[in-house]
Chains A and B, each alone.
Chain A
Amino acid sequence: MLISVLPWFLLIAYFRPLFEIIFLAVGEWWFLTRFEEDRSKFNRYIVQITTVGREVERVNEIINEIRSYPLSMPYLIWVVIEPGNVVDYPNADEVIVVPAEFESVAQYKCRALEYSRTVRGRYGYTGPDTKITFLDDDTSPTWEYLETAFAGDYDICQGLTAPRVRYGSGPFTHFLLSHIDDLRFHNCMTYCSSFQGIFNAPLFVHGEGLTITGYTENKVGWNFRIFASEDLTFGCNAAHQGLRWGWFHEYIELTSPWTWGAYFKQRRRWMWGNIHAVVNRDVLPFWPAVRIAVRYGLSLFTFVGSGVALVLTLLGKIHIPQIWFSVFWCSLIVWLLNFAMSGWVNAGRREVNQTSFDFWANRVFQTVCAVVLTPFSASFTVVALITTLYMGNPRAFEVIGKTEKTSDAESYTADTAGAPA
């Protein structure tokens, strides 16, 4: 019995792209036909960039970018930074420095977010008429993103992350890391669209572009006993408390890491932040924790299961009816198409001074690269998962350089954010 069932159990891993394309299509359809907008409900819009304070140039670039948009609503740009850094953000409406003496259970970035919540509380921005969009110091929202995020008639919503800023550009390390991030776009397009937009049960939550109402922020709060994964924690708790999630197809553009060291530091922070959240019930409620754990289990299973099944098939140990071979071929093609779509979308940001020919030539080139690099991109994500597990818990919010220039410096721990209270 086990012998006859085991091959099928392993081979199911091959079907994953087909399941995913269904999730992706339904999630996208849901957005196109059911995503609700009502601008009349919101009077105030805060775009908050939370940063340690060492990416001044990039943050100002983001602010100026936003200011250049013909946004249809009144909005404020807040920059929240740690003490001891320059506060030179001329086009920001507010620059909030988290006081060193501020005490909270949360640490690092989550602590800064909690502090900014208290500031909003002081201003009376805690009602459902206030919308807040959170940005990191490496993310550029598109004009459409901000418009849709503001209008979205949800307690909490977010759009689509895409590593479009300097996507696939040199040096070679960044080129590879950009394509490894193809999977990030794919995951967001597949799982955020469906699990956030339809099921109201997020599987992934990204801090970049997360948009909530003042009421949501006040109800859920940021004061969790965590050092990382504050986005996932907040999003899952919001859903658990019955708040309404929405997902929309507009791009929040981010930058892939510039060095291997930065890549592993970032993934290590996510991985251990998520593990911490999954194993602690005061951070994540039980069912969301199970959901996230299953997600990791499935990733590992897909990699191992399909790998073992492939070897056994090539060795002639597993024999399957031809009709299933046809399904597997389709699944494989769908998988490659998914990566082609990632390459196409991610290369869709036109850089300043880029000619039309350069733009389209680069877009086609990056799409081909995304497909060619598919086995590498997909398997490296699992390599990173295992490696970061081996590296151990950083127990700190390790910040990485966000531009080519700052990435030359060593990444640093946001220790200025203070120890837990």
Chain B
Amino acid sequence: MRASRRVRGAYLLVLIVVLMAATIATYVFGRTYRTLALQKAPFGRLAYVPSFDPIEDVSLGVPMDSGNNAPATSTKDIRAIEVFPSQVVMLAGGHAHRVIDLKRPVSTLHDLVHLVNEPSWISERSTVVTLDAAVIDHVGNTMSVAAPVTTEVVMTVRQGVFLAANQATLTLSGVYFHASDHNTPVAGSRAAQRADLGRPFILATTHSTMTITNSTFRYLGRDWNSSYGVAWSKDSSGSVSGSVFEHNFIGIYTEHSIGLRIQHNRFYYNSLYGVDPHSGSSHLLVEYNISNYNGRHGIIFSDHVTDGIVRYNVTKANGLNGIMMDEASTSNKIDHNIVSDNKSDGIVLAESDNNEVAYNTITGNRVGVHIRGETEPKNAVFRNTIANNDMAAQGSGLSGNNSYGNGGQWTARRIASVWLTALALLVALMAITRMSRRGRDRRQTRSSRRQTGLGMA
């Protein structure tokens, strides 16, 4: 009886093993997988170095990469025009070059050119202003740079040239701002960083308000503290709309900015990101923008950027992800965006919880929705259309979303192949089992006969 049980057991085992192998093979090989190797960052980036604020640098006349780790001596080549409500101070190498007392505040860049009247510092031809020094709109002052008075601002590529508001109000309207050369800022090496040392930028810092409308920004910014392109930092706010950001290091950067509105802008071919709210910024409104062909991400919220809204944007063909929430960027709503053909993933939530991802159209990316490092409260991903990505989702369920045509789809032909192979394998193994048992039985019979014969002898 035990013998017959074993016979049945052997065939049953073969059947179970083949069924199990076929099930595993169906799960693994029964679906399509387009290449899902990680799209690596197009270039490396140097580690962040704590450094002086750029306004401190020009006020002291020290190189633009100075910090406690890299003490520097001042040089007269680094110059700043500091505009206060009651006076204008011109500094060279940290020392006063001129002080101009004002009867009334300077409110436009055009007025400043004529007031200073030193073309080697700031000059104007027709409606084009050229900056050869930093212009800092200081404490309580209000300045505007606007068409038709000023239509273009050329910012010379040399150390210490930028436009900034420090506890002030700055309005930019209908103006084309660009560096004096046509080089796109780069990153990835110390040499590149040094080469970009003089690349100009625009900054609103320390409770300033900067409002930008219908302007264009090109070839600005570099990989350094607050110098990334056009930036709002230290509780500054304002808005930017109808503007174009191209070939900058980062299109828009914010740090500890609250309530900034970024609407109806275009971000193309920026080295790193199109829109990069960072470090404790909150309640941002990012809507109706197009952020395409940037080196890394189209839009990225990183490092505790919370309570923002990202909606009705288009992010396409960026070097990495379309839209990303990174490093505890929580409680943001990402909806009604079109995220397509990005080299890495569509919408990525990395170590960021409680975000709502809904009503987006996510197509042609590596992974449609990618969530990693999630804890409670969970992100909500629903009512999105996720189509034709290499894979629909990773780290996220797909229920409540419309998902089709992504990789990882079941393929009837493959499944059929798997099960036909399994059938053939089953027949082969059954035959081998039968042969093996018969061989064993023959051996045992021979051995028994020999033993019996010996016993009789």
* Alpha-carbon distance between A37 and B443 when the two chains are bound, in angstroms: 10
Residues of chain B within 8 A (CB-CB) of A148 are 2
Chain A 58-73, CB within 8 Å of chain B: the 1/0 string? 0000000000000000
* Alpha-carbon distance between A34 and B35 when the two chains are bound, in angstroms: 45
* B13 A316 Cβ-Cβ under 8 A: no
Max count, chain B CB within 10 A of own CB: residue among A33, A36, A334: A33
* B443 A36 Cβ-Cβ under 8 A: yes
Q: Please tell me which one of the listed residues B391, B451, B455 contacts residue A322 in the complex, with CB atoms under 8 A apart.
A: B391
Question: Chain A: which residue is nearest B439 at the CB level?
Answer: A34
* Alpha-carbon distance between A25 and B451 when the two chains are bound, in angstroms: 33
Q: Check A380 for interface membership: any CB of B closer than 8 A.
A: no
* A32 B6 Cβ-Cβ under 8 A: yes
* Alpha-carbon distance between A148 and B6 when the two chains are bound, in angstroms: 12
* A329 B27 Cβ-Cβ under 8 A: yes
Counting residue pairs across A and B whose Cβ atoms lie within 8 Å, the total is 77
Residues of chain A within 8 A (CB-CB) of B407 are 322
Q: Check B350 for interface membership: any CB of A closer than 8 A.
A: yes
* A322 B36 Cβ-Cβ under 8 A: yes
* Interfacial residues of chain A within 84-101, with CB under 8 A of chain B in the complex: none
Known: A315-B373, A316-B350, A322-B391. Is A36-B31 also a contact (CB below 8 A)? Answer: no
- Measured CB to CB, the closest approach of chain A to B394, in angstroms, equals 8
Q: Check B436 for interface membership: any CB of A closer than 8 A.
A: yes
Interface residues of B, Cβ cutoff 8 Å to A:
2, 6-7, 9-10, 13-14, 17, 20, 24, 27-29, 31, 33, 35-38, 350, 372-373, 391, 394, 407-408, 433, 436-437, 439-440, 443-444, 447-448, 451-452, 455
* A319 B10 Cβ-Cβ under 8 A: no
* Alpha-carbon distance between A293 and B395 when the two chains are bound, in angstroms: 38
Q: Check A28 for interface membership: any CB of B closer than 8 A.
A: yes
Residues of chain B within 8 A (CB-CB) of A314 are 372-373
Known: A316-B373, A321-B37. Is A32-B9 also a contact (CB below 8 A)? Answer: yes
Chain A 324-365, CB within 8 Å of chain B: the 1/0 string? 001101100010000000000000000000000000000000
The 8 closest A-B pairs by CB, nearest first: A32-B10, A319-B38, A33-B436, A326-B28, A330-B24, A322-B36, A40-B451, A323-B33
Residues of chain A within 8 A (CB-CB) of B451 are 38, 40-41
* A38 B444 Cβ-Cβ under 8 A: yes
Q: Check A415 for interface membership: any CB of B closer than 8 A.
A: no
Q: Check A19 for interface membership: any CB of B closer than 8 A.
A: no
* Interfacial residues of chain A within 145-199, with CB under 8 A of chain B in the complex: 147-148, 153
What 17 additional pairs, Cβ within 8 angstroms, besides A32-B7, A322-B391, A322-B408? A29-B14, A32-B433, A33-B10, A33-B440, A34-B439, A38-B444, A38-B451, A40-B451, A316-B350, A321-B37, A322-B33, A322-B407, A323-B33, A326-B27, A326-B31, A330-B24, A330-B28
* A32 B28 Cβ-Cβ under 8 A: no
* A316 B372 Cβ-Cβ under 8 A: yes
Question: Chain B: which residue is nearest A316 at the CB level?
Answer: B372
- Measured CB to CB, the closest approach of chain A to B95, in angstroms, equals 50
* Alpha-carbon distance between A321 and B31 when the two chains are bound, in angstroms: 13
Q: Please tell me which one of the listed residues A35, A36, A316, A330 contacts residue B27 in the complex, with CB atoms under 8 A apart.
A: A330
